[in-house]
Amino acid sequence: MTNQPCKNTTLLIGGLTLLTAALFVWALAAGPAGLTLTEVFRALSGHGFSAADLIVREIRLPRALLAILIGGSLGLSGACLQGWLKNPLAEPGVLGVSGGAVLGAVTAFYTGYAALFPIALPLGGLAGALLAVLFLLLLSGFSGTTATLILAGVAVNTLAFAATALALNFSHNPYAALEIVFWQMGSLADRGFDHVWLALPFILSGCILLLSTGRALNALSLGDDTAASLGIHLGWLRWRLVIGTALCVGAGVAVAGSIGFVGLVVPHLLRPLTRHEPGRLLVPSMLGGAALLLAADLAVRLLPAVSELKIGVLTSLIGAPFFLVLILRGRREAL
Amino acid sequence: MNGFRVRNIRVCFGAREAVRQSSFDLNDGEIVGLIGPNGAGKSTLIRALAGLVTPAGGSLEFLGKPLEKWSARERAKQLAYLPQFPQVHWPLSVHAAVALGRMPHARRIGPLSAADEAAIERALAETGTAALKERAVTTLAGGEKTLVMLARTLASEPKFLLADEPVAGLDLCHQLEVMELLRRLAGSGRGVLAVLHDLTLAARFCDRLLLLKDGRLVCEGTPAQVLTAERLRETYGVDTEIYERDGELRIIPRRRL
């Protein structure tokens, strides 16, 4: 009987892995140029140069891989931050890193470097995320409390938002401003392997750092003092969480703009299925985030529209009412 | 064998000295009650013993070795800490909450071993909470929750238990249940230090008492030695009536001075 939760988690992880794999294959096959599964697998395995091969390898594969990387890292960092802050409303944006990444990318737009060479955009985003983390640690002190860290995150976010608005305000021409606004909405369209290789090392190392916090997060559900008395080093945990989230979110925003609600909704949805144990929630949230972003990107691509709907707009559009329903249901249960 | 050997310990928060120059020993197999008025430094002292705050001075030995020399994990195997009003932030099952007590022993990755499961079952049985195993901790009443949190500390099979007000907010029956449990722990050779406010309860269940006032250890000894009307007047500022019945002290507060 005591192994029941263990078995359930394995089932959940297996199911989510299958779901992600199925969505991944679908993402490679679906689109204006409809391809059969055979064509997809042949394109993946071979080195041919037919139109189908190029579409799968150069256009759809990097896009689907980015959806998995970014969705997975958003789900994982959301689950970690919710566990750490003991608050189901925490999300990866609270640390201000996403704001910093947006500002960095916008600066690349504004200075015109983004137009000169495309990779300047994500590089600017990464630099912005890094600066935001340094600023965050300076503001909150190296050993401050969780509350000072969150307040510092709010300050960083506000400052980055103001600076971004300033860049828009002084934009040379309306098209540049429009481009910045569209980029901020978040999208995986027209991303290539350049973007994948740029984001991959950061997201992978961030995920490894975050996945290592599971045990500590479990202990933290009994409060900071009890966790420390159980042998958890709180300062070291904080570093792993801040740096891991910054790597994941910074790289994600840098290549795809800001994509909201995945980091908030996915852990929230999966938590009851993991018996509310924060450590058990990490891997399922990562897989769930990957599946959700793959599905959202598929929806964006397949929805008939004059211009493509931005994925960040879609996730927020669906996420917000959905979240509202969750809150209302929670309130009814509490009454 | 000494559980704790404390010499001239001082704990400071900024310029304020919360614990000053206190020395005492705590032995295995005894319950020691830490008493004193609110703000006397009891919680701070017990947190220092748990390694949660670093003393500004003095020496603190646990099982013959300076406390700061212990690795966090090794210390956690021998020393358990029950905070005042223990919190549980998620609706964990009772079993999962108690299982957290195995953290210092368990493998870092993978399911609990048979030895871990056995320790959890023993802890649940010892505290009489086995029937609650599948319940969510957040749905438990205060007394049950305290027993479950005690089970969590027992699951790590510590040599020593530090409990900060383990009977605060409990009804009469649960107060006795918790104190009897602590008594049994001491009987099985473990050391217990508990912060207590109910002096009659402290006198009845504790082998020794430490009386703290303004961060200073005012008096140490058996309940009969420590609990005199004159001393309670000096430390608590309260007139008390103390009498003995059936070999036990009864302390009744009369009026403030």
Contacts of A218 in chain B (CB under 8 A): 100, 103
A-facing residues of B in 97-156 (CB < 8 A) are: 97, 100-101, 103-104, 108, 111-112, 117, 120, 136, 149, 152, 156
* Chain A residues interacting with chain B (CB cutoff of 8 angstroms): 2-3, 5-6, 86, 215, 218-223, 225-226, 228-233, 271, 275-278
Q: What are phi and psi of A40, to 5 degrees?
A: -60, -50
B199 touches chain A (CB under 8 A): no
Q: Can you read off the two tokens belonging to residue B168?
A: 């605060």
pLDDT one-digit tens code per residue, A185-216: 888 888 889 899 999 999 999 999 999 999 99
CA–CA min distance A91, chain B (Å): 17
pLDDT at B238: 95
Pairwise CB contact (< 8 Å): B47 & A225: yes
What span, in angstroms and rounded, lies between the C-alpha atoms of B251 and B257? 16
Q: Can you read off the two tokens belonging to residue A150?
A: 């969150």
DSSP string, A159-214: HHHHHHHHHHHT-SSHHHHHHHHHHHT---TT--HHHHHHHHHHHHHHHHHHHTTH
- H or E segment and range at residue B122: helix B114-126
Residue A252 lies inside a defined structural domain of this protein: yes
Alpha carbon separation from A210 to A228, B190, B241 (Å, rounded)? 19, 38, 59
Domain tally for chain A? 1
Nearest to B103 among A86, A225, A231 (CB): A231
Specify whether the CB–CB gap between A40 and A56 falls below 8 A.
yes
pLDDT one-digit tens code per residue, A62-77: 999 999 999 999 999 9
Burial of B180 (0-12, 13-18, 19+ CB in 10 A): exposed
Contacts of B50 in chain A (CB under 8 A): 225, 229
Alpha carbon separation from B32 to A318, B48, B198, B235 (Å, rounded)? 59, 16, 14, 19
pLDDT at B116: 94
CA–CA min distance B237, chain A (Å): 32
pLDDT at A143: 66
pLDDT at B182: 96
Contacts of A225 in chain B (CB under 8 A): 47, 50, 52, 81, 83
Closest chain B residue to A88 measured between Cα atoms?
A: B90
B176 touches chain A (CB under 8 A): no
Pairwise CB contact (< 8 Å): B111 & A6: yes
Closest CA to A240 of A214, A276, A271, A268: A214
Specify whether the CB–CB gap between A104 and A254 falls below 8 A.
yes
Specify whether the CB–CB gap between A83 and A220 falls below 8 A.
yes
Q: The pTM is what?
A: 0.91
Pairwise CB contact (< 8 Å): B88 & A222: yes
Closest chain B residue to A222 measured between Cα atoms?
A: B88
Regions of chain B short of the pLDDT cut 50? none
Residue A335 lies inside a defined structural domain of this protein: no
Nearest to B80 among A229, A276, A277 (CB): A229
How many Cα neighbours within 13 Å face the side chain of A45? Answer: 6
Contacts of B86 in chain A (CB under 8 A): 222-223, 226
CA–CA min distance B20, chain A (Å): 22
Q: What are phi and psi of A279, to 5 degrees?
A: -70, -40
Q: What is the CATH number of the domain that holds A283?
A: 1.10.3470.10
> What angle, rounded to 10 degrees, do the helices at A234-256 and A120-140 form?
150
B89 touches chain A (CB under 8 A): yes
Specify whether the CB–CB gap between A160 and A99 falls below 8 A.
yes
Pairwise CB contact (< 8 Å): A228 & B47: no
- The residue segments making up the domain with residue A38 are 4-330
CA–CA min distance B180, chain A (Å): 23
Q: What is the per-residue burial (b if ≥16 Cβ within 10 Å, else e) of B204-225? A: bbbebbbbbbebebbbbeebee
Closest chain A residue to B134 measured between Cα atoms?
A: A2
pLDDT at A122: 86
Q: Can you read off the two tokens belonging to residue B23?
A: 């020395």
What span, in angstroms and rounded, lies between the C-alpha atoms of B148 and B123? 9
Residue A237 lies inside a defined structural domain of this protein: yes
pLDDT at A2: 45
Domains located in chain B, CATH noted: 1-63+159-231 (3.40.50.300), 87-158 (no CATH)
CA–CA min distance A205, chain B (Å): 19
pLDDT at B40: 93
Q: Which of B54, B90, B138, B193 to mutate to test the interface with A (most CBs of A within 10 A)?
A: B90
B90 touches chain A (CB under 8 A): yes
Closest chain A residue to B110 measured between Cα atoms?
A: A6
Specify whether the CB–CB gap between A76 and A248 falls below 8 A.
yes
Regions of chain A short of the pLDDT cut 70? 1-6, 141-144, 306, 332-335
pLDDT at A144: 66
Helices (H), A86-173: 97-111, 113-116, 120-140, 146-169
> Any idea how long chain B is?
257
What span, in angstroms and rounded, lies between the C-alpha atoms of A275 and B4? 39
